[in-house]
Structure 1
Amino acid sequence: MRISHLCWRSWRRLALLAALASTLSLLRAAEPRDPAKLSAEFCVGCHGPNLVGGPAPNLLDDVWKTGSDDDSILRAIRDGNPQANMPPFAATLSEAEQRGMVAYLRRMGRQYALGLIPIVATPPASVTVTTQKHTFRLETVAAPLDTPWGIVFLPDGRMLVSDRVGQIRVIEKGEVKPEPIRGTPKPFVRQDGGYLDLIAHPEYARNGWLYLAYTETGGTRGGTMTVVVRGRIRDGAWVDQQDIFRAAPEFYPVNDFSHYGCRFLFDREQRLFFTIGDRGRALDAQDLRSPLGKIHRVMDDGRIPPDNPFAGRADALPSVWSYGHRHVQGLQYHPATGKLWATEHGPRGGDELNRIEPGRNYGWPTISRGLPQQREVIEGTERAGMESPLAWWTPSIAPAAIEFYAGDRFPRWKNSLLVASLVGRHLRRIETDGDTVTSQEVLFAEMGRVRDVVTGPDGLIYLALNNPGRIARLVPEP
């Protein structure tokens, strides 16, 4: 009896210890996460690495559009701000974590007010970088610019740059000319909107056509949308403008200023590709009647090529080349295989690298490697009839323009894919074997948001950098 009693007492003691351990484990699991880590995961992509401004405003200067008291900031975190494309975090952060974020922002704000947190570190005019296969000098070519988006090289040696604030700037012999091109269309400039990509016609030397994407106000309820036009420059002025693409009025989303696109590319037959994001209406990416969330292809004058995959169908927009995209920002042909590749922004993580085939469905918002951001309902990562990415990035790097390097100044990078990164603020080099990504390398980081990457006529690699805005290039070192 005594042994049995001792066993019972021991068993009860062990049970109590197990219950206590389980309770402690649950308490630890319920502990609020570190606000600094939450900030790095959810905030720096839009508000910058120091929270002092990126594509979204400074969080530390105590200037809030929705109110600067604690309750207003807490409400902004909990409920989001759809007009500013800020998602609600009520389902992502516990109430304690939301309040912890308010306290963290207050603490960082005090450091910012004392000058302990810099707004933007001024990058050096020239810096030497050693990578796996090349050493190069990253040097500034021309500055200042506001938010350079697209780079075009003209036959006479000048460079044109589309600046998101609504200007086409001229760079000549390393100098940004003081006057932008006159008479260009007036854009809607807010958040992602403004002047977007710029490209020259493959026969520009003969016809002088330039293609510009920008955002405008319009539609049936005063929404905003991406427009594609072409024009010529004569005596410093934009002339001969013609519409290439303008959406029907019902496709101008209201109170959403995100995911306008737009990246351009000409194919060998001089057809123009251009991209438009889902504009915050994720389900439209699966609707072939909507231009949103698509890659489009048109003739150089805007007519529909008869071999487009949906040409002639009553239930589809004839310009659509592929669909199910969230926000394509990079578009380029592989110089050896001739295949079309694209980069795309995911929701929270899940940024994608895809190879594009005509008529294919790339899955958004049904499948994604990222997490839902606002009203999306993601059902999984794969589904029959939908294309999966060749590579993806979580956490997000916000991939922008891409360029397959085909020049001769960096011979060991031949056919490497260069990926511009906005959130990661870096330039990434990718090696591939067919449709397989075999290796990745970050060439440099924290020199600004890399918006565009192109190979110049001299075989050097040119970059459009934001925050601060400038044009830079990579020059090989011995």
Structure 2
Amino acid sequence: MPTFPLKSTVTLAVALALSAAFAPHAAAIEPSGPPAAVKGWRAVTVAKGVDRPWGMAWLPDGRALVTSKHGKLFVVNGNRFDEVPLEGLPEVFTSGQGGLLDVSVHPGDKDNPRIYMTLATGTSSANRTTLVRGTFDGKRVHGIETLFQARPDKSGGAHFGSRLAWLPDGTLLMSIGDGGNPPTRIGDRLAREQAQNLATHQGSILRLTADGKAAPGNPLAKRPGALPEIWSMGHRNVQGLAVDKATGQVWATEHGPRGGDELNLVVAGQNYGWPLQSYGADYVTAEPVGQREVPGMVGPKVAYVPSPALSGLTVYSGSQFPQWRGSVFSGAMVGMDIRRIAVDKNGNAVRQERLEIGARVRDVKQGPDGHLYALTDEAEGRLLRIVRE
């Protein structure tokens, strides 16, 4: 893969100035601990047996697709996972957090749907987050082609981001992690500092066309030296991404270091601060990373200290639990639960509670039947359906 030049025109100081000019000032919030547990529901195992499942999406016929971090795709048939052959899939880099990650189905397809998947590709010394697309014919995904690769390459097995979500205009959002923790470097700076560098994809959410190109109208593309795919910046490692179909709001869950996991309401063109603004602490020194409040940078709606390791994300609109409609649901891996965050019309958190799962939750989605579903991050991972008690 060709090396990408790292002669950025956007230094950290310039990034601060630009952000102050383009984004509103948000006051710091008080960090949240684990919310109280809620009753009146139970988790039913739909299927079991996928080694380290990561993402899920529903086919037009109502069946679920599930990825395994180890490079396999499965379809749920009744109570079992059946492997789906992937013809033409690039070699998957499976070290650390790398692997076959998220999956999404093009929302406009009914027959022979196009399947989008994110994965890590490359080697331990040069890898990147990659987006591919193939066609599902009912038995296999064939014609897989690479649509997009984040650049520049990074090293190590951390922080690939990799969540996908479709906007109402038919464009695709894709998260890219910052590249890793210190002492990992990309070019002339620490990897995490690239989140303030618009000349790299690291630490950003991208907005792409269905063919993986830069979508027209991305607001940051007009800045000097900026890559045209970038839709928002200043992210550490977005692990959940969801669009509220009722309001159009975009929500993201983001890992912070040693505390400071975030729930963000993401707006095009804004800077979410990492690593200049954070509720987390450095893994080695235990010193705070940045400040909790930086003028011109957007703060989170919820910040968790200690970190529950937030994961996949959905906004609930189903009929099974009417009292939950409009709430944001996030999985939590260390927390071993699902977090419900009730929000007001401005996206401010007004109530939180937790559904205790007792296993690491990697992804949460609403199914076409109106139920919540969760994937557990286990050697024999489970697909769970949340039903009334």
1:327 counterpart letter in structure 2? N
1:320 paired to 2:196: no
Q: Is the 8 A contact 1:348 1:373 kept in 2?
A: yes
1:394 paired to 2:299: no
Distance 1:441 1:316 in 2: 40
Equivalent in the alignment of 1:357: 267
Cα displacement (A) at 1:157: 3.1
Q: Is the 8 A contact 2:198 2:226 kept in 1?
A: yes
1:356 counterpart letter in structure 2? V
> CA 1:344/1:161 → structure 2, altered by over 3 Å: closer, same or farther?
same
1:426 counterpart letter in structure 2? D
Equivalent in the alignment of 1:163: 68
1:259 counterpart letter in structure 2? H
Cα displacement (A) at 1:306: 1.9
Q: Deviations over 1:269-299 (max 9, x none)?
A: 1100000111111010000011100000011
1:228 aligned to 122, 131, 142, which one?
131
> CA 1:374/1:321 → structure 2, altered by over 3 Å: closer, same or farther?
farther
1:252 paired to 2:153: yes
Equivalent in the alignment of 1:174: 79
Cα displacement (A) at 1:367: 1.4
**Tell me, what secondary structure is at the counterpart of 1:412?**
helix
1:473 aligned to 360, 375, 385, which one?
385
Cα displacement (A) at 1:377: 7.5
Cα displacement (A) at 1:207: 5.6
Cα RMSD, aligned residues only: 2.0
**Structure number, greater radius of gyration:** 1
Q: Deviations over 1:325-358 (max 9, x none)?
A: 0001111123443211111101110111111111
Q: Which sections of structure 2, spanning at least 5 residues, go unmatched?
A: 1-35, 181-190
Equivalent in the alignment of 2:109: 204
Distance 2:150 2:299 in 1: 28
Distance 1:247 1:131 in 2: 39
> CA 1:436/1:137 → structure 2, altered by over 3 Å: closer, same or farther?
same
Distance 2:271 2:164 in 1: 20
Distance 2:301 2:138 in 1: 46
Distance 1:445 1:456 in 2: 18
Q: Is the 8 A contact 1:365 1:377 kept in 2?
A: no
Equivalent in the alignment of 1:340: 250
Q: Is the 8 A contact 2:309 2:334 kept in 1?
A: yes
The correspondence of residues 122-141 of structure 1 with structure 2, limited to 5 A, is 132=38, 135-141=40-46
Q: Is the 8 A contact 2:258 2:281 kept in 1?
A: yes
Cα displacement (A) at 1:217: 0.7
**Tell me, what secondary structure is at the counterpart of 2:323?**
helix
Q: Deviations over 1:100-154 (max 9, x none)?
A: xxxxxxxxxxxxxxxxxxxxxxxxxxxxxx965x622211101111011111211
Equivalent in the alignment of 2:367: 456
Q: Which has the higher strand share?
A: 2
Tell me the TM-score normalised to structure 1 length. Answer: 0.68
Equivalent in the alignment of 2:353: 441
Equivalent in the alignment of 1:36: none
Cα displacement (A) at 1:234: 3.1
Q: Is the 8 A contact 1:157 1:172 kept in 2?
A: no
Distance 1:201 1:416 in 2: 24
Q: Deviations over 1:212-248 (max 9, x none)?
A: 0001116xx9411110011112363332223221134
Distance 1:436 1:328 in 2: 19
Equivalent in the alignment of 1:329: 239
**Tell me, what secondary structure is at the counterpart of 1:204?**
coil
**Tell me, what secondary structure is at the counterpart of 1:168?**
strand
The correspondence of residues 34-53 of structure 1 with structure 2, limited to 5 A, is none
Larger RCO (alpha carbons 8 Å, 6+ apart): 2
Identity of aligned residues (%): 38
Moved over 6 A (4+): none
Tell me the TM-score normalised to structure 2 length. Answer: 0.83
Q: Is the 8 A contact 1:229 1:244 kept in 2?
A: yes
2:171 counterpart letter in structure 1? R
**Tell me, what secondary structure is at the counterpart of 1:291?**
coil
Equivalent in the alignment of 1:186: 91
Is the deviation greater in 452-461 or in 181-190?
181-190
Equivalent in the alignment of 1:243: 146
**Tell me, what secondary structure is at the counterpart of 1:283?**
helix
1:272 aligned to 160, 164, 172, which one?
172
1:176 counterpart letter in structure 2? F
Q: Which has the higher helix share?
A: 1
Q: Is the 8 A contact 1:400 1:451 kept in 2?
A: yes
Distance 1:295 1:182 in 2: 26
Distance 2:158 2:248 in 1: 31
